[in-house]
Amino acid sequence: MKHPENQFTIEEVEKLCQLYQECQLSILEETELEYVLMQSDFDSPLINDTKELMAVSRLCKPKTAKSRKHIGTWAFRAAACAAIVLSSHAVYHKLWHNLQNGDCIAYVAGEKASAEEAHKIAEADVAKMQQFMQVINERQAQEKAKVEQFMNQINRSK
């Protein structure tokens, strides 16, 4: 490959630097300009400013954007699971407490049900809630295992 000084004049390089600073170049063109600037001995205030700007741009690019995304996703999932478990737990205990104390009142199609029907409805709701809690606990264990695995991968990569 020819040396960049043989391909471009200083005026052409300065024009490209001006376009870079005005954000008029594509990513590919920016990369090519960066290569030309690193391989050439051109020297002018505009070229030097562009080199410095490119160096700052490289430093500012997030290197771990992917891992940050995963951490946020896992944290959100864990928080959502915890919220579901806590709210379900509260509802479950309230229903169970009411069922044990005989404080069951239920309405079916707008009509107040008898105490016996109310207890059956409450027992059915408690059974559904227990199944739901079991599923939530299984999912929470799965999410916890995934988070631990992910954190182990991060720690190994350091």
Q: What is the pLDDT of residues 99-138, one digit of tens each?
A: 566 566 667 777 777 777 877 877 888 888 888 888 888 8
What is d(CA 38, CA 124) in angstroms, rounded to the nearest whole number?
74
- In a shared domain, residues 78 and 151: yes
Number of domains, the chain: 2
What is the pTM (predicted TM-score) of this model?
Answer: 0.38
Predicted confidence (pLDDT) at residue 1 exceeds the cutoff of 50: no
113's CB contacts (< 8 A; 6+ apart) are: 105, 106, 107, 121
- In a shared domain, residues 52 and 70: no
- In a shared domain, residues 29 and 74: no
Give me the domain span that covers residue 18.
Answer: 4-60
- In a shared domain, residues 70 and 53: no
